[in-house]
Chains A and B, each alone.
Chain A
Amino acid sequence: MSIADAATSRTKAKVEEQVAAVMGDGSLNGGAVGEALPVVRQRSFDQVVRLYLTEMRLFLRESQVVLFVVGFPVLMVLVLGGVFGTDTDDSGFEFVNPSHYYVASYFGVVLAAIGLMMLPTQIAGARERGLLRRYDTAGFARWVFPTVQYLCGLTFALIGFASLLVTASLTNGVPAPEDLVPTLLGLGLGTLAFISIGVALGMLFPTGRAAQGIGMSLFFPMFLLSGGGPPPEALTDGMRAVANWLPLTHVIRAAQEPWLDIGDGRNHLAIVGGLLVVSLAVWLWRAGRTSRAA
């Protein structure tokens, strides 16, 4: 038997073991090996579905998540829209309708709530409780848990966006994007970036409680300085300088500028892309260093 044949034979034996484990009856026939990979994929897909449904239930039972991701942005859009009105002659809002300005901003605030509070608290809490080890020993593929967190983050982002759009359309209206593709690109990349930041922070914080505390102390300054609080002109130079270093500023501006035609958002989009890469790298680095047993 050649080395290639031996390797093929070992692979076949391994796949047969996998089929036996998945099928649970140990009965293999001639077609089983060919069917093994689809069966393993099906098992992983089932795991994703089961864990996704469970995690969504758990997120929805956390009043803080529902409050900050859905309730808070909606409430603030209503309050700030009521305070600043719809006049377009205010240089503080770059001569756009203030209500529209905040609608575009608060898409970013939804993402900040997901990436700085919801996901880090959940993931750090799961690590603290040894849940990842439990998933591991129960045969869940290791990519299932982070994938599900991404999916949950995406679902909540869509829920938050939809709530904002419905609220805005019922009050001061939703601004039509001036440049649709860059606006969607900014929103899409910003969503992925902040979900990745959330997963990375969840891997860095030692406990769920620490994640919650630190997440809140990151969220509020970002929300106030990056576009969710006072108009940029009302900020001091120092505050504006700080805001330029905050990730949320760039996530908001990347979508807001092309949406409201107050810039092309390209520089911000490039920074958001960088944030996505860095947060993914941090996550992968932590995932590689952190033993499931730890």
Chain B
Amino acid sequence: MQTMTPGPVLEMAGLTKRYGDRTVVDDLSLSVERGEIFGILGTNGAGKTTSVECAQGLRRPDGGQVRVLGLDPIRDRSALAGRVGSQLQESNLPDRLRVGEALRLFATTKTQADEALDRWDLGDIAKVPFARLSGGQRQRLFLALALLNRPEVVFLDELTQGLDPDARRSVWRLIEQVRDQGTTVVLVTHFMSEAEALCDRVVVMTDGRMVAAGTPDELVDRHGRGVRVRFSGTAEDLDWVRSLADVHEASVRGADIECWGRSTMIAELGHGLVERGRNPIAIRVEQQGLEDALLSLLHPVDNAAAARTEAAA
């Protein structure tokens, strides 16, 4: 067992990183607590990977402070070795290197490599060269390598990129296992569904700045448009629907009424429709996810335009 350092596993305070004149990470502050899966979300080029690379000691910040397990990732690199695991974006292995050899190369002992083969179910492909592994097998190997030394914290950067949905869900289960075994996970992803399924807390970045932080549910509540309900109805129903307390907006869409509001409006609507003797042929309820909420946050103009186009149609 490693010595458990008290305090946050990862702390960034005013982290700033520039490439030439371009600021790619701008005054980023966050704190990751032990045992959580923490997501760093954002569009491509938002500064997610650069931020994590500063935490991994691969890049020197231009401003601010980064502490991993209470240590400076560049100055205390040697002390952090073995306590931090990393899956890097766009980092492969030599084509001819076999799975067993890769584990043996990065493991401190042969026993550790053998354990990883069993633990990650890699025994059957131990002699397969890296070039012949499927996408899912590669990610499983990368995860095994990142966790070889049973680190206290692991950085996973776009681990599921390029995987089919089935393989992606398998990797998600592996990540949950990692967290359940006590390792803190910092997950960099641009898949909102991944963050929603896995993360306890997330931060959202765009253009190098953090624009939102919280649990996925909090972000959906804060930035989403809520619940959408559609049912068969006419313009005569519109005033009544708009009068309901939890309905934010309502409009006629062809033969339907569409309304947006808080989830509590569903019961109100259903009750009211029954009271009014209406028996809607179809009622559809859609809960907005993190992806919709963050799209609204990141591209409010685009979404407003899309909504207008949809309304006009």
- Chain B residues positioned under 8 Å from A126 (CB to CB): 94
Q: Cβ of A133 and Cβ of B96 under 8 Å apart?
A: no
**B80 lies within 8 A of A46 (CB):** no
Q: Mark B233-263, 1 if CB is under 8 A from A, else 0.
A: 0000000000000000000000000000000
- Shortest CB-to-CB span from A240 to chain B, Å, is 41
**The one of B57, B79, B90, B106 that contacts A18, using a Cβ cutoff of 8 Å:** B79
B78: nearest residue on chain A (CB-CB)?
A18
CA distance A160 to B178 in the complex (A): 48
The answer to whether B101 touches A17 (Cβ under 8 A) is no
Point out the residues of chain B lying under 8 angstroms from A51, CB to CB: 105
Asked if A24 is an interface residue, CB under 8 A from chain B, the answer is yes
Indicate which residue in B1, B83, B94, B105 contacts A129 across the interface (CB closer than 8 Å): B94
Asked if A237 is at the interface (CB within 8 A of a chain B CB), the reply is: no
Count contacts on B: residues with CB < 8 A to the other chain. Answer: 35
What secondary structure prevails in chain A residues at the interface with B?
helix
The verdict on B104 contacting chain A, using a C-beta distance below 8 Å, is: yes
Q: Is the CB of A26 within 8 A of B86?
A: no
Contact with B along A123-146 (1 / 0, CB 8 A): 001100111011011110000000
Task: Assess whether A26 is in contact with B3, with CB atoms less than 8 Å apart.
Answer: yes
Question: A40 within 8 Å of B by Cβ?
Answer: yes
A58 at interface by CB-CB < 8 Å? yes
Contact string, B187-203, partner A, CB cutoff 8 A, digits 1/0?
A: 00000000000000000
Inter-chain CA distance A6–B90, complex, in Å, is: 42
When distances are taken between beta carbons in the complex, the residues of chain B under 8 Å from A5 are none
Residues in A20-38 with C-beta less than 8 Å from chain B: 20-22, 24-26
Q: How far is the CA of A88 from the CA of B56 in the complex (A)?
A: 64
Tally of chain A residues near chain B (CB < 8 A):
33
What residues of chain A lie closer than 8 Å to B97, measured between beta carbons?
Answer: 54, 58
Q: Is A139's CB under 8 angstroms from B82's CB? A: yes
Per a CB cutoff under 8 Å, which of A25, A54, A139, A293 touches B1? Answer: A25
Q: State the CA gap A20–B106 with chains docked (Å).
A: 19
Residues of B within 8 A of A129 (CB): 91-94
Cα distance, A130 to B90, chains bound together (Å): 7
Q: Is A61 an interface residue (CB 8 A)?
A: yes
CB atoms of A20 and B93 under 8 A apart: no
The interface centre, meaning the residue of A26, A137, A293 with most chain B CB atoms within 10 A of its CB, is A137
Residues of chain A within 8 A (CB-CB) of B105 are 50-51, 54
What residues on A are CB-neighbors of B283 within 8 Å? none
Q: Indicate whether A50 sits within 8 Å of B104 (C-beta atoms), given known contacts A20-B2, A58-B97, A129-B91.
A: yes
- On A, residues with C-beta under 8 Å from B are 14, 17-18, 20-22, 24-26, 40, 43, 46, 50-51, 54, 57-58, 61-62, 125-126, 129-131, 133-134, 136-139, 291-293
Question: What 7 pairs across the A-B complex have the smallest Cβ distances?
Answer: A139-B81, A130-B91, A26-B3, A17-B79, A137-B86, A293-B58, A129-B92
